[in-house]
Amino acid sequence: MWRNVTESRPLPVVDYLKIPEKGEPYLEGYRCKKCGAIFLGERNVCSKCFARNEMEVIKLSDYGKLHSFAIVYRSFPGIDVPYVSAIVDLEGGGTIKGNLINIDPDPDKIKFDMPVKLTYGDALGRKDKEGNSYLSYFFEPA
């Protein structure tokens, strides 16, 4: 199994995060060729216009704008708080959710529509039962 022989290679935290053999990680979207709706994760049918087998695979942008957020002070046990949970609209389409980092978790410092950039890094040290490391994405002010 390649997982065992290449232990240093992290796994993607979600299936729409792609880690090429060469080059930088990126997020993958599925775009409906009929109506332009963009989805995360593989699918064949568009839930907006109902077209079948019209999906094309696209690379999502690493840049976007902050649509909305919340500052989380109470989470499930063992999760470090506070942190900023953010909804980001990507340039060229697609919306994703993630942690906004490298900013004070202060509502006065976080501005709606502020430009943000995706950054990729280790999934806060979290490992699965087999001890595999994961690569995640985060947002930071651009």
Partner 1 sequence: MSDVYVVGVDMIKFGRFPERSVPNIGAEAALMALDDAGLSIKDMQAMYCGNLGQANAMVGQRILQEIGQTGMPVVNVANACATGATAFREAWMSIKAGMYDVVLAVGVEQMGKGLLGGAGNSDGIPKEGLLGSGTMPCVFAEAGMEHAKEHGTTFEQFAKISVKNHHHSTMNPKAMYQIETPLDDVMNAEMISYPNTKLMCSVNVDGSAAAILVSEKKAKELGMARAVKVRASAMASDPYTDRDLVMPDVNACTRLAAKDAYEQAGVGPEDINLVELHDCFATAEMLHYENLGLCKDGDAGKMIDEGHVELGGRVPVNVSGGLLSKGHPLGATGIANIYEICTHLRGEAGKRQVEGAKIGMTHVIGLGTACGIHILEKNS
Which parts of this chain interact with partner 1 (CB under 8 A)?
11, 13-14, 37, 39-40, 47-48, 67-76, 79-81, 83, 85-87, 89, 95-99, 107, 112-113, 123-124, 126-128, 134, 136-137
CA angle 112, 117, 105 (to 5 degrees): 50
Structure tokens at 22: 């060469």
- Least Å distance, CB 43 to partner 1, is 10
Q: Which two tokens stand for residue 47?
A: 């839930």
The nearer residue to partner 1, 107 or 115, going by C-beta atoms, is 107
CB of 92 to partner 1, least distance (A): 13
Q: Judge whether 139 and 98 are in contact, CB under 8 Å.
A: yes
> What does the DSSP 8-state code read for residue 3?
H
Say how far apart CA 27 and CA 8 lie, in whole Å.
21
**Minimum CB–partner distance for residue 44 and partner 1 (Å):** 16
Q: CA torsion angle for 83, 123, 135, 67 (degrees, to 10)?
A: -10
For the bound state, the minimum distance from the C-beta of residue 99 to partner 1, rounded and expressed in Å, comes to: 6
CB nearer to partner 1: pick between 22 and 46:
46
Q: Which is nearer to partner 1, 55 or 96 (CB)?
A: 96
